[in-house]
Amino acid sequence: MQVLQPITIGHTVFKNRVLFPPLTTGYEDADGNISPQSLAFYTRLAQGGTGYIVLGDVAPIRSFAVTPKLYDDSQIESFRRLADNLHAYGAKLGVQIFHPEYDCDALNALFDAGEMHKVRAQLHHDMAHFVNEVSEDALMVIIDKMCACARRAQLAGVDVIHIHGDRLVGALCSPLMNKRSDQFGGSLENRTRFALLLVQALKDAVPELLIEYKLPVITPERGKGGVPISEAPLFAQWLEAAGVHMLHVAQANHTGNLADTIPPMGVQPYCFFADITHAVKQAVTVPVSTSGRIIDPAMAEDMLTEGKADMIGIGRALLADPDWVNKAAAGRPQDICRCISCNEGCVDTVLNRSFIACVVNAENGFEAVRFITPAQQKKHVVVIGGGPAGLEAARVAAVKGHKVTLLEKNAYLGGQLNIASVPPRKLEIRRTIEDLTQANQALSVQIKLAHDATPESVLALAPDAVIIAVGATSFIPPIPGIDGANVCDAWQVLAGEQQAAGRVAIIGGGIVGCETAEYLAEQGCQVSIVDRLEQIGADIGATVLPSVLATFQTYGVAQYPRLTVTSIETHFETHIETITASNSATNTTLQCIDKQGKVVPIPCDFVVTASGARPVNLDTTLFNAQGIEVIKVGDCQQVADIAYAIKTAYDAANLL
């Protein structure tokens, strides 16, 4: 495979064409040093075969943002440890040097003084205006600071200086953001002057290191910081002439929505930046890379063989499986645990000021402390339930060396993931079912489908331990009229077991209610969502919610937050004998009250409940009486999400 072939850039040989692009992880220490958590994460990527790893958002100045920082000599040692670890596995290390689009010194002074209200006001102002207000002298000082950062990186053993072409640099390049009238504004030559001066200064500061430039491209639909598509090839030529050794072409951001650059499932096609990258590649002779929804080795290989790029950025897919490269090299791409582009455990988590922890990989973010240990005593482990928690528990137990039997009451595996994959844009969730099934089959886990486990049937298998992963059932709220013939359950609607048509009122504005609303709206229903909370979709991630709201706007989905449903009133006409999707009651009313006690009636033909779930209880008395170890995992322990299901299952099985 070409993706596994080495590539020589300047004087540096990269062992393969796979790079981990710069991501904000949230792993670093508050002072900017490389923390043990960060060190373990990047080392694990190198151990898994990644050839080139870029450390994202390395600040050359002191700031209160939680990113790596290299503005002081005391920080060099932690970067050196990282470089040494990566080099031990044959990987190369790049550091992405960036400067924020705000006045760091002024903000630091306010922050140190504890004047947080002024910090917020100044930050809000700077994000829109700093690019146009920063003086030419201050820009030269910023270049000096970035060069000092690069020198420290060189002392730490870093291989590549990666210039972040977005943030302040991209804002200066952008015709949408840069309104300056001096030598740094106006024409493309002026707007890119700072970027080219920075490249030249870095070439002088660290002549032995490779210089890479992230080239953000503004597309008609997305992005503000960077250059438009029409200007990108010419700017790339100028960068090459200035001495850049390699280019990383990417979607521009600065819109306030990280879904632009790291899109969730269903929003952008796979390899969505391949053609734009190809246009840039045709204009230069230096190697060009890109990233963006490149999920598996076949996609990466196609991009290389078609000449779209020279190296391939694999970001979220390496969070899901850090052994992506090694499995491809071993001829086992089918064993890769593939990213589902949910953004739940990565981008949205970082936006919520936490750290990256992939929902399908329990080890991600915990590489130093969470890893599978061999079983000290081999056991027969019976897992009841074939949803994500059951499948993950079975997988981990089998990797440990236990004999594993999995019992699933349905004739198929996947549990709630089967209905979670039904709404618009969500089909990629099925990859988790496929990959966990593949993993269990490869480990010779005995899977028994259509097996409704009873305590007696489980005991007949003579287990040493039982892991219960029987999930949850949807909660039916105790509302008068809830048992009406035209009242449906969201899970059953998504499963195709119930149908709704016409005017549909959904009780519950969480993720299930919103996705059911999208599904029904696309089916032609006139949908309303009611929830007692302040916001519909409050539990939906920041990069996913805009797509949901766009669907609502397209189909006219009505949102009713801050309402409590008091009853469902349906009055049937005498000639209506049954309620079906094609013959619905037209005089049903969802009676609600607002926070002030005002009655708000919502006329509808069907009501769909999406009011949460409750754990399924399985009697374990016989297991306990026999002294069999019993562990509950996933929703039957506590109703949560796929991340909780995977992590509780992993930890429980790893203790056996």
By annotation, the residues acting in catalysis are 167
C-alpha to C-alpha distance for 491 and 513, rounded to whole angstroms: 10
What 190-199 contacts at long range (C-beta under 8 Å, 24+ apart), as own/partner pairs, is: 191/227, 192/227, 192/235, 192/238, 194/139, 194/143, 194/169, 195/163, 195/165, 195/169, 195/239, 196/238, 196/239, 196/242, 197/143, 198/143, 198/146, 198/163, 198/169, 199/163, 199/239, 199/242, 199/243, 199/244
From CA 8, how far away is CA 286, in angstroms rounded?
A: 11
CA 236/CA 211 separation, integer angstroms: 13
- Beta-carbon contacts of residue 306 (< 8 Å; ≥ 6 apart): 274, 278
As given in the structure block, the two tokens for residue 42 are: 């990047």
Contact 116, 127 (CB under 8 A): no
Cα R_g (the chain), whole angstroms:
27
What is the sign of the dihedral through the CA atoms of 110, 113, 118 and 119?
Answer: positive
Q: How many CB atoms lie within 10 A of CB 309?
A: 27
Range list of H helices, 426-563: 430-442, 455-459, 490-494, 511-522, 545-555
* CA separation for the pair 453, 445 (Å, rounded): 17
- Is 385 in contact with 636 (CB distance < 8 Å)? yes
Q: Which residue in 100, 96, 196, 192 sits closest to 149, CA to CA?
A: 96
Nearest alpha carbon to residue 554 among 521, 589, 600, 530: 521
Helices (H), 414-528: 417-420, 430-442, 455-459, 490-494, 511-522
Cβ proximity of 18 and 49 under 8 Å: yes
CB 280 within 8 A of CB 269: no
CA 51/CA 3 separation, integer angstroms? 10
Burial class (CB in 10 A: 0-12, 13-18, 19+), 464: middle
Amino acid at 503: R
Q: Is 247 helix (H, G, I), strand (E, B) or coil?
A: strand
Of 468, 133, 196, the residue nearest 187 (C-alpha): 196
CA 23 to chain centre: 11
3-class state of residue 125 by DSSP: helix
Length of the chain: 656
Q: Which of 610, 654, 615, 623 is nearest to 385 (CA)?
A: 615
Contact (CB, 8 A) for 405 and 461:
yes
Write the DSSP assignment of 375-426 as a string of letters: -SS--EEEEE--SHHHHHHHHHHHHHT-EEEEE-SSSSS-TTHHHHTSSTT-
